Chain A
Amino acid sequence: MIRTVIIKVFLIGSLLTSCSKETLIPDLEGSLVGYVYTFDEFANRLRDRSGVLVTAHGLRQYTTLTDDAGRFEFTRLPTGTYELHFYKQGFGGLKYQGVVHLGGMPTTLGLSYTPSINSQAFFIYRIPETRIADLSVGNDSLTATFDFKDDQPERMAIQVYLSGVSGFTSADASQTITCHMLPDNGKFKCKMNFSNLSFESGMKVWFKAAILNRKISVYDLDGRIVAGIDTYIDYTTYKTVYPNLGDESNQFSFVMP
Chain B
Amino acid sequence: MNRINFRLSCPDLLALSGWLAVILIINACEEVSGPMTVNSVITGGAYIAAPGTEEGILVVAHGPYGQGSAVTDTYGNFTISGLANGTYYLEYSMDGFGTMWQYDIRLYGNDTARAVYTQLYEKPPALKLPALKKAFIGVRPRNNPEPVWICFDTDIRRQNVADYGLQFMLCMSIHENVSWDNYEICDFTWSGQFNWDAYLQDDVYSIYIDIRNLKNAYREIFPFPTGYRVYVKGYPCNKGESGGYLDTYLGVRQFSTLDKTRSTNTISFIMP
Residues of A within 8 A of B (CB): 4, 7-8, 11, 14-15, 18-28, 30-31, 33, 35, 45, 69, 71, 100-108, 110-115, 117, 119, 218-224
Whether B86 is near chain A, meaning CB under 8 Å from some CB there, is yes
8 Å CB contact of B63 from A23, A24, A104, A113: A104
Kindly provide the distance from the CB of B109 to the nearest chain A CB, expressed in whole angstroms. 10
Task: Contact check, A26 vs B29: say whether CB atoms are below 8 A apart.
Answer: no
Least distance between B235 CB and chain A CB atoms (Å) = 14
Partner of B248, one of A4, A22, A111: A111
- With contact pairs A30-B64, A112-B248, A221-B251 given, residues A11 and B32 touching in the complex (Cβ less than 8 Å): no
| Complex contact A24–B86 (CB within 8 A) | no
B192 within 8 A of A: no
B89 in the interface, Cβ–Cβ < 8 Å? yes
Instruction: Pick from B102, B107, B253: contact of A222, CB below 8 A.
Output: B253
CA distance in complex: A107, B25 (Å): 38
A8 to B28, CA, bound (A): 19
- Taking CB atoms, residues of chain B closer than 8 Å to A21 are 28
Q: Which of A11, A19, A114 contacts B245 (CB 8 A)?
A: A114
Most A CB contacts (10 A, CB to CB) among B24, B64, B186 go to B64
Q: How far is the CA of A26 from the CA of B86 in the complex (A)?
A: 10
* Chain B residue contacts of A221, Cβ below 8 A: 246, 251-253
For A26, the closest partner residue in chain B by CB is B36
CB pair A112 B30 closer than 8 Å:
no
Closest 7 CB pairs of A and B: A104-B64, A104-B86, A115-B243, A108-B248, A111-B248, A104-B87, A19-B29
Stretch at the interface among B14-22, B51-59, B142-150, B199-207: B14-22
Q: Which B residues have a C-beta under 8 Å from some C-beta of A?
A: 10, 14, 17-18, 21, 24-25, 28-36, 62-65, 85-89, 102-104, 106-108, 116, 185-186, 217-221, 243-246, 248-253
Given A104-B63, A223-B218, A224-B246, check contact A27 B252 (CB 8 Å): no
Closest to B101 in A: A113
B246→A112 contact, CB < 8 A: yes
Q: Which residue of B lies closest to A218 (CB)?
A: B220
Find chain A residues with CB under 8 A from B21 CB: 11, 14-15
> In whole angstroms, how far apart are the Cα atoms of A3 and B219 in the complex?
89
Interface centre among A18, A21, A102 (most CB of B within 10 A): A102
B87 in contact with A106 (CB, 8 Å): yes
**A15 CA / B21 CA spacing, docked (Å):** 7
The contact sample of 13 A-B pairs, CB cut-off 8 A, is A11-B21, A18-B24, A18-B28, A28-B86, A71-B250, A102-B108, A105-B86, A105-B104, A110-B248, A112-B248, A113-B103, A222-B186, A224-B246
Cβ-defined partner of B24 (8 Å) among A15, A26, A101: A15
Chain A residues with Cβ below 8 Å from B106 are 100, 102, 107
A23 in contact with B31 given A105-B63, A107-B104, A221-B251 (CB within 8 Å): yes
Known: A30-B64, A106-B104, A107-B104. A113 touches B32 (CB 8 A): no
**Contact yes or no, A25 B31, CB < 8 A:** yes
- Please name all residues of chain B whose beta carbon is closer than 8 Å to the beta carbon of A223 when the two chains form the complex: 217-219, 243
Cβ of B220 and Cβ of A108 under 8 Å apart? no
B218 pairs with A22, CB closer than 8 A:
no
**B248 CB to nearest chain A CB (Å):** 4
Question: For residue A15, which residue of chain B has the nearest CB?
Answer: B21
With A20-B28, A106-B89 already in contact, the answer to whether A114 and B104 are too (CB < 8 A) is: no
Q: Which of chain B's residues have a CB closer than 8 A to the CB of A111?
A: 246, 248, 251
Known pairs A30-B87, A108-B104, A108-B249; A22 contacts B64 (CB<8 A) = no
Q: Is B64 touching A103 in the complex (CB atoms < 8 A)? A: yes
Q: Give A31's nearest chain B residue, CB to CB.
A: B249
Nearest CB in chain B to that of A119: its residue: B246
Given contacts A15-B24, A30-B64, contact A104 B220 (CB under 8 A): no
A15 to B18, CA, bound (A): 11
**Contacts known (A102-B87, A219-B219); A113 close to B116, Cβ less than 8 A:** yes
